[in-house]
Amino acid sequence: MTDTSTGEGRQMPSFPPWAKKTLGTVATVAATILGLLFVTFMIGRVMPIDPVLAVIGERATQAQYNATYLELGLDKPLLVQFGIYVNDVLHGDLGRSIRTGQEVTTDIARVFPATLELATLGTLLGVVLGVPLGVIAAVKRGSWIDQLARFVGLIGYSMPIFWLGLVGLLVFYGILGWVAGPGRLGIFYQGIVEPITGMLLIDSALRGEWTVFKDAFSHIILPASLLGYYSMAYISRMTRSFMLEQLNSEYVTTARVKGLSERKVIWGHAFRNIRIQLVTVIALAYANLLEGSVLTEIIFAWPGIGQYITTSLLANDMNSVLGGTIVIGTIFVGINIFSDLLYRFFDPRAK
């Protein structure tokens, strides 16, 4: 008989594999976010900017300085300050922008849709052009098509994005006049469409304002095409590499020996097996455009989060800089988690 009073013979409860995987993912995300918060917190402390003067200005009295110093909790130990900082961030408090006078969360909610719209369109262009180009280059390995695809990709991820932006503005806006100039919307059309999602193309289409849609598209197409070209270079190169590996596999040779059509072999077998890898590649490309479109936004005067962070940095507005960094970092982590979920969806072995 088992002695229940001493607990002998009891078995520890076992968690199903999906629960262990979920707990591991949650722990990893929490550790990553905590590390991001720690880095941004330390950056705010080591920057040669007095946070008190940044709030009250240089003309404040000593009494005002001391009161604000205590209010910000700067008299407390560093670990306690970090705990307060984490608590504020978790409650959605990223501080107040010195430059705009508004809450940083309000500013980011206003500027982020512009970056999201630009990066999304750029990624779509990169996927639509990059995936077929990579597949064709792998199938036609060594041909002039392959050489051209590799050359186009080399230019895409070697040329500085700001240089391509300046050349694009000069040629397509200044000389040819095919697209609109810098900015997100013409002055005449501003304020016509009431925001729904914050993305002008979607909002103007939903409102039926097609003249605004046309003007917004004319403004976004050039910067989105440049980002799409940059993304296409990466996606096509990785697609070509993945396809070459599959086309050299034995199962492809077997499929061809059985008499399957080349189209069926390429798209029905080889390409189907690289979809899982492409999910990760496309997700990383999208995340990189979201966080790395700063130079593009500056060149095209695009009112997104990249330009917001850069302008705030030049104005010594550290609350805005750190708040924007936290948002971008969190989104980057979220996209990676989403790509991991898609990975499991496409690959039953990962479930």
> For residue 311, what is the domain's CATH number?
1.10.3720.10
Tokens of 309: 């962070």
> Are both 32 and 163 inside the same structural domain?
no
- pLDDT tens profile 51-74: 776 666 667 777 877 887 777 777
- Work out the angle at residue 299's Cα, subtended by the Cα atoms of residues 182 and 196, and round it to the nearest 5 degrees: 55
- pLDDT tens profile 249-294: 888 888 888 888 888 888 888 888 888 888 888 988 898 888 777 8
214 pLDDT higher than 90: yes
In-domain check, residue 68: yes
3-class secondary-structure state, position 96: strand
Query: CA-to-CA distance for 199 and 122, rounded, in angstroms?
Result: 14
Residue among 133, 151, 159, 148 nearest 230 (CA)? 159
> SS3 sequence, 239-286?
HHHHHHHHHCCHHHHHHHHCCCCHHHHHHHHHHHHHHHHHHHHHHHHH
In-domain check, residue 95: no
Number of domains in the chain: 2
First vs last C-alpha separation in the chain: 40
Residue among 161, 134, 128, 300 nearest 227 (CA)? 161
Mark residue 324 as left, alpha or beta (left: phi above 0; alpha: psi -120 to 50; beta: remaining): alpha
Strand partners, 96: 103
123 pLDDT higher than 70: yes
> Are both 117 and 82 inside the same structural domain?
no
Contact 129/228 with Cβ under 8 angstroms? yes
> Are both 135 and 41 inside the same structural domain?
no
Which residue range(s) make up the domain with 117?
112-350
15 pLDDT higher than 70: no
1 pLDDT higher than 50: no
Query: CA-to-CA distance for 156 and 148, rounded, in angstroms?
Result: 12
